Amino acid sequence: MQKLLVKTHEVWLVTLMASFMSNNAESKRVLNDFSDILFRNLTWIERDLIKRGEDYDYNRGNLPIKVDSLKVILSNISTRLTDMELMLSSVDNEELRIRLESDWDYMKFRVNILNDEKVTAFDMNRTYKNYNLSKEAVDAFTLFLFDESYKEYELIMIYNYLKAHFDDDFLNKIFQILVDESMFHLKSFGNMMAEMGILAVPRTLHKSLYQIEDVVQFLKDGIEEETAAKEMCRDLSAAVGRDTEELARFFDFINNQESYHIELMKEALAYYEKKELDG
């Protein structure tokens, strides 16, 4: 089961990256939908491991995704799903096993009939929508996308791990909102990276980042990190604002979302601190 969790984690990320690579609306939609389902599959396997009392982590293998043709990555996804199906005997929960097998069987069928296309997500063109961005703006944009795509992946996995291990409806509602918001940000930044030819898989997380012992300190640190992210958004909005209003307004939009995340984290912090005082 632990190995199946790792493989599901990997194929979720590969499928998500493939959705960023595609410029075909139908293929992008299918791959995006499948990545969402695979992430849910991951959480269900995780929940089953917790019920069985088995330790696990989010470690994963290297994911080489640099391809020139979408068919290559689609074939990789199909092969990964086939390998995972052979591991389903480790799933004791019959309903879960049937659901996973059905999901993965259909995904294999569907990705195998998607149209091929040339992939430009790794060509390092560093242009976005034909906007005439200054070198300063392009450099700031590039740095932001690399830093923030990793941060959003990190937050998805941290809040997902906390949600899986907390038996508290109030906190878990907040954690789920933060997972969903970070997923939206990761997808937004990933699509931008692909258009600029700089797509990359976020680096692997060390388990100390999500196997958190001091939740209060984690939330305090998280509030500081979100505040720093707001500053990056403001700086980037200023850097690109001279060249394009559309990008400047997008980063203002992200900045305001980060403000709400801070308020949610403050709410979670106050609730958790009170809960600890009340025993």
pLDDT digits (tens, 9 = 90+) for 220-236: 999 988 888 888 888 88
Residue 279 is predicted with a pLDDT of: 63
- Contacts for 143 with CB less than 8 Å, ≥ 6 apart: none
Q: What is the pTM of this model?
A: 0.95
pLDDT, position 192: 97
Residue 132: what pLDDT? 87
Q: What is the pLDDT of residues 145-199, one digit of tens each?
A: 999 999 999 999 999 999 999 989 999 999 999 999 999 999 999 999 999 999 9
- What's the burial of 240, exposed, middle or buried (CB within 10 Å: 0-12/13-18/19+)? buried
pLDDT digits (tens, 9 = 90+) for 99-116: 999 999 999 999 999 999
More confident of the two residues 61 and 246: 61
Which domains, from first to last, does the chain contain? Answer: 1-119 (1.20.1260), 121-279 (1.20.1260.10)
Phi then psi for 118, rounded to 5 degrees? Answer: -70, 135
pLDDT tens track for 44-87:
999 999 999 999 999 999 999 999 999 999 999 999 999 999 99
Q: pLDDT by residue (tens digit) across 116-127?
A: 999 999 999 999
**Residue 242: band (very low, low, confident or very high) from pLDDT cuts 50, 70, 90:** low
Cα 67 from chain centre? 20
Please state, in angstroms and rounded to a whole number, the distance separating the CA atoms of residues 44 and 98.
Answer: 13
Give the tens place of pLDDT for each residue, 251-272: 889 989 999 999 999 999 999 9
- In the prediction, which pLDDT does 14 show? 98
| Residue whose token pair is 């389902």 | 37
State residue 202's pLDDT score: 95
d(Cα 209, Cα 158) in Å, to the nearest integer? 7
| pLDDT on residue 239 | 77
| Residue 137 pLDDT > 80 | yes
pLDDT for residue 13: 98
